[in-house]
Structure 1
């Protein structure tokens, strides 16, 4: 096999078409974060983005988008920002991971959202995690019937809160594919506030991420697009979400709600309305992303799997990287695998967030850096 490393923007029309053909032919690759459009957008904003083009007997059989950082440290495209990574290849292609790394000029490659079962990465997998899905292929009524049957108490509570919200604040409606940039700023403002309150890093404090989101918001092709949804009570926005879609799958990315309406559970309410609209627009599933949020466990009616692992070639860089990352990864997995520890860690982060917010100067809490 021949491996050529280029920037995504250097791919020609034939290469981009071939990428789409390979992705469309494999259901496991049906994720917008694996689309060539996302790689092109990342390339325009980040200088470290690359793609390995794999050929066999003169025919392109695969694409591996990745990030190449200093000292030969490799990361999946989007790394901490996205929820799915993969070697986008024809079925049956078996390219050893270390050979791929050598061709890419990498010493080490960590992954934690890799499509499970890919031959290239399988020997290096250390854990496989479930990803909760909202399967809409049989229609929304079939889906919501499953949710109602599996979690009758939760479903009844959410619908009761929805009626209460409507009585007190106005009719409930969801706007699908909201085009107004002001709606996006409302959503990112909520999300930035949530990051701070819960002790997380505010992603929208980085201007390039805001630019990426805005570019994705403007995309609307049959095979790829950004979907901004907003749930309203009367004329008041209460919860929203921005994600990406293929022709079949909508992927959760940035959900948020107005904390002033938290008692109504607007985020879960929004997810149900979003699923209904997704089904009506011909989408077959909503990927909610791996993670320990309780609401996902009763909104799901299907799962897929992603894998975690590490590949390294013998080098001083790989050794230093291993010493720095392995203890952290082990500690993280211990927390993820134990619900009590996960809840404790979540409470600690929220406490840190409250302390950090209380120390901010008055009048600065609602203005996230980099978001206007």
Structure 2
């Protein structure tokens, strides 16, 4: 590391009062770090629950320049609590000149995978794809927010709301801290959705669900989980678990009952969530990175975030270097994030092969071969 910069690795529980004060000061002065994922209360829980979690403290002499929360999987570095952390990156000033690749190299990483990297002031970004964090500004109230949205979109949702109420009884909405029972219901619903859409079940490993339950135990007024629930009569038609820090709320895990699909229950729930958030003093609701159509209905692009792989050694062999393997690499790194052990990775890869074969039966054999090659390379690399 150049210019006398050093990197020290510690457990989150080993952060002392001066380090924690510096973290909070950096976060307060850098608006890019307003996401709940940068709140130390989330990091404390993630550091306790997520396998391989650690903090890199970056110093020049006695001065702390910044922090990097991460988790290690062999020579692969991932965001702390991946795949649960939608936004991640350096906790540093906006004008920092830290070199993230050098920091990762000092941590002994051959490569690092990011999906929503906030890199304030660093020289990173080359070779990574740029997306934008999507956010809804409700700081001036819900009526002002509505005035800036498509009139046709809002008219359609009001019609669907009335139709849902006519067909299934009074519609009720709540936005509050989840009970353990409701949290289990969200996790079960999400697992069912992942199976239905032939995706890897991120809750099969156990620690990801434990992370949510531990966060749900936090009762502080300005931080913690909040659950939006939309009911028609006695039935829950849609729900979404989110996380709040100060005046920011991040939408996280949505589910809805497919039997009510024609009413657009997810959209109705999201509008009610924005209304409730504004009433509770939340200024910004985050939808996560990406420009999916449903996000554009509710939100606008905010700050840029980066996605992709950083290789710390030019000759590192990775899946991204092989034709057609980029998506498989991303899938494998997601499995690796959940499953730190070899047995778990093999089990996760096997379930992924099975899901892909069911989804694409004609190419099942080819997918299986690609997965086999990819898994072998991943395990060799790590």
- Determine if the TM-score, normalized by the shorter chain, exceeds 0.5: yes
Paired with 1:98 and 1:56, the residues of 2 have a C-alpha distance of: 17
Q: Is the 8 A contact 1:125 1:307 kept in 2?
A: no
Residue in 1 that maps onto 2:135:
133
Residue in 1 that maps onto 2:343:
none
Deviation at 1:265, TM superposition (A): 0.8
Residue in 2 that maps onto 1:248:
247
Residue in 2 that maps onto 1:73:
76
Paired with 1:231 and 1:154, the residues of 2 have a C-alpha distance of: 19
Q: Is the 8 A contact 1:196 1:353 kept in 2?
A: no
**Do structure 1's residue 87 and structure 2's residue 90 form an aligned pair?**
yes
**Range that drifts further, 1-10 or 296-305:** 296-305
Give CA deviations for 1:277-308 in whole Å, capped at 9, x if unaligned: 11111111111112353221111145332112
Deviation at 1:29, TM superposition (A): 0.7
Residue in 2 that maps onto 1:14:
18
**Do structure 1's residue 47 and structure 2's residue 45 form an aligned pair?**
no
Residue in 2 that maps onto 1:32:
36
Distance 1:164 1:219, change over 3 A: same
SS in 1 for 2:317: helix
SS in 1 for 2:260: helix
**Range that drifts further, 247-256 or 74-83:** 74-83
Distance 1:259 1:43, change over 3 A: same
Q: Is the 8 A contact 1:200 1:353 kept in 2?
A: no
SS in 1 for 2:98: coil
Paired with 1:264 and 1:170, the residues of 2 have a C-alpha distance of: 13
**Range that drifts further, 134-143 or 12-21:** 12-21
Residue in 2 that maps onto 1:323:
321
Residue in 1 that maps onto 2:220:
221
SS in 1 for 2:236: strand
Deviation at 1:115, TM superposition (A): 1.5
Paired with 1:308 and 1:54, the residues of 2 have a C-alpha distance of: 23
Distance 1:206 1:331, change over 3 A: closer
Give CA deviations for 1:188-217 in whole Å, capped at 9, x if unaligned: 222222111111122222211111111112
Paired with 1:48 and 1:115, the residues of 2 have a C-alpha distance of: 21
SS in 2 for 1:213: helix
Give CA deviations for 1:135-173 in whole Å, capped at 9, x if unaligned: 1112111111212xx2x3322121111111112222222
* TM-score scaled by length of structure 2: 0.79
Paired with 1:186 and 1:330, the residues of 2 have a C-alpha distance of: 30
Matches within 5 A, 1:52-201: 52-70=56-74, 72-115=75-118, 117-122=120-125, 124-147=126-149, 150=150, 152-201=151-200
Paired with 1:327 and 1:258, the residues of 2 have a C-alpha distance of: 34
Matches within 5 A, 1:198-347: 198-291=197-290, 293-314=292-313, 318-320=316-318, 322-323=320-321, 327-328=325-326
What is the count of residue pairs matched by the alignment?
333
* TM-score scaled by length of structure 1: 0.81
Q: Which runs of 5+ in 2 are unaligned?
A: 331-354, 362-382
Deviation at 1:93, TM superposition (A): 2.1
Q: Is the 8 A contact 1:42 1:49 kept in 2?
A: yes
SS in 2 for 1:182: helix
Deviation at 1:128, TM superposition (A): 0.8
Deviation at 1:241, TM superposition (A): 0.7
Paired with 2:59 and 2:204, the residues of 1 have a C-alpha distance of: 40
Q: Is the 8 A contact 2:135 2:299 kept in 1?
A: yes
Q: Which runs of 5+ in 1 are unaligned?
A: 333-348, 356-372
Residue in 2 that maps onto 1:359:
none
Paired with 2:46 and 2:322, the residues of 1 have a C-alpha distance of: 27
Q: Is the 8 A contact 2:248 2:285 kept in 1?
A: yes
